[in-house]
Amino acid sequence: MPADFSPYVDMIPEDVTPGDIYVGAIELARLTVPEFKVRQGTPEDALLQAAAYMNHLAVSHFNRIPPRLMEGTARLLGVTKDEGSRAEVEVTITLNQNTGIKIPSGSKFVYEILSGDTTFQYVYETTSAIAVDDWSGTPATISVVLRSSEVALHPVVATGTEFTPQSVIFEVDSVLAQHNGTAQAGTSTSITLAAGASATDDFYKNNLITIKSGTGNSATKSVITGYVGSTKVATVTSWPSGTPDATSVYVVDAKFTNGNNPEAGESYLSRTRTHIEGLSSALTRGSQAKAVLLANKDVIRRAKVYDLTDHTGTYPRLFTAPNDLGQVAIWSYGNNRQLTAAERTEMATFVADRSVAGLTVGCRDMELIDVEITVNVKYDSAYNSTITGGLVEDAILQYLSPLGFEGRDEGWSVGDIIGQIMGASGVLFVDSCSFSVASGNSSLGTAYSSLYQVDGNGNVKFLAKGVLPSCTPSNLTKTLVAVTV
């Protein structure tokens, strides 16, 4: 049985400054001698200041011993601290000439968000050198992935966001958050993207694509349901205006993967305690399995674990389905992607090996849903409507994303969304917010109408287990009305 580290895990440093100790000492002295006074420059004052400083050093060192010891112990037990990650966004760089140039690795590009009178800058940089041979087209263009310069959770980068080189590059005409190019070929349900498109499978899955000119030109967007990196073939359900071909110029909406903030010490120590507790007893409940998975498996970012549920049963598993004794089902989601079959098997085996005898454990992909959202917002006329509207959209889409969703386990309320909107700079109040079931299917092909409903109070309620929101801009309708304050 492992040692009990809970007295150390629960300790949180409570530092005090030398000034706090100095003032506290004087107040304590006056409890005994009310007329006690200390004048600056006297020996008494010097002694009190020296004592306060030495006590400050002692308090600081004492507070930091247990967490440091605990982190070292946690690493030995296999629990590593999450140091955070950097956001990434795919952009198209266009030159004002036909020949390529060389952009060194680490070149920085900036985009700005104006909030009231304050401008926030976010710096992204190239992850590898861009050579002359990489460029194509007239004028020369290339699609590359930029990575944020700092480890942090960033505002969502919307399609069409323009980046500015931090150092002057005269040949660069524009840097836009998106991937575009001329198709190599097309069918009634697919398009072969340009040679410079990503080589990663499913990189553009669930992104929106538009044919801007050439065959199949349309203002209506299609959803990419699958993508093969080696062949550059993106699959869609259908095209609104005919089959694209080698003349079709397309735009894929921005591919943005957010970063995350470094893990706070308190959160890390809490995870360590969960891990230690899991070592001393077998798992018997879904909630225990979820805690152990999130604490020990970095590949999982979101998980829902249900007791009495057979993962191989009729899908989707509705909440009204009968209980399956001895069954535990895990729904999992990784870092902005579904897990592979091998990873899902590993998760199920990991939990099964730590469970009491007789439990059968299985793992499935999360169902990602979209929903129709309509909001009417009043904002301060002193603010820019475009920027305020963008902040409102970012707040909603970030909250209703697989990794950003922090609502109730099985749905969200109108109040949840209003709370996110009210946090956007310039917003005065929300006139209305409503939801309706979107047309179409989830990421796994299940009809949205089978996965969630809008109840009589206007809130979204999940009908099936293992559901997360993944809302897109095309299903968000926002109306902003300026108000003079």
Q: Which of 298, 320, 317, 301 is nearest to 309 (CA)?
A: 317
pLDDT of residue 65: 57
pLDDT tens digits along 258-292: 888 888 777 787 777 767 666 656 677 888 888 88
Burial class (CB in 10 A: 0-12, 13-18, 19+), 279: exposed
Burial class (CB in 10 A: 0-12, 13-18, 19+), 424: buried
Is pLDDT above 60 for 1? no
Residues 6+ apart with CB under 8 A from 388: 379, 424, 425, 426, 427, 480
pLDDT of residue 21: 86
In the chain, the N- to C-terminal Cα span, in Å, equals 65
pLDDT of residue 23: 86
- Alpha-carbon span 420 to 476, nearest angstrom: 14
What's the whole-number mean pLDDT along residues 147-174?
A: 89
Query: How many Cβ atoms sit within 10 Å of the Cβ of residue 44?
Result: 12
**What is the percent of the chain where pLDDT is above 90?**
40
What's the whole-number mean pLDDT along residues 168-197?
A: 90
Q: What is the pTM of this model?
A: 0.54
pLDDT of residue 67: 59
Per CATH, the number for 265-365 is: 3.30.300
What is the band of 125 on the pLDDT scale with cuts at 50, 70, 90? Answer: very high
Q: What's the mean per-residue pLDDT of the chain? A: 86
Is pLDDT above 90 for 122? yes
Asked whether 481 and 407 are in contact (CB, 8 A), the reply is no
Exposure letters 2-40 (e unless 16+ CB within 10 A, then b): eeebeebbebeeeeeebeebbeebeeeeeeeeeeeeeee
- Alpha-carbon span 390 to 188, nearest angstrom: 34
Is pLDDT above 80 for 42? yes
C-alpha pair distances (Å), 179 with each of 209, 220, 250, 251, 376: 9, 17, 8, 6, 31
pLDDT tens digits along 363-393: 999 999 999 999 999 999 988 888 889 899 9
Query: How many Cβ atoms sit within 10 Å of the Cβ of residue 299?
Result: 15
**What is the percent of the chain where pLDDT is above 70?**
92
pLDDT of residue 415: 92
pLDDT tens digits along 210-262: 999 999 998 888 889 889 999 999 999 889 888 999 999 999 988 888 888 88
Domain-by-domain residue ranges, the chain?
6-76, 88-178, 180-253, 265-365, 368-483
Q: Which of 202, 220, 225 is nearest to 210 (CA)?
A: 220
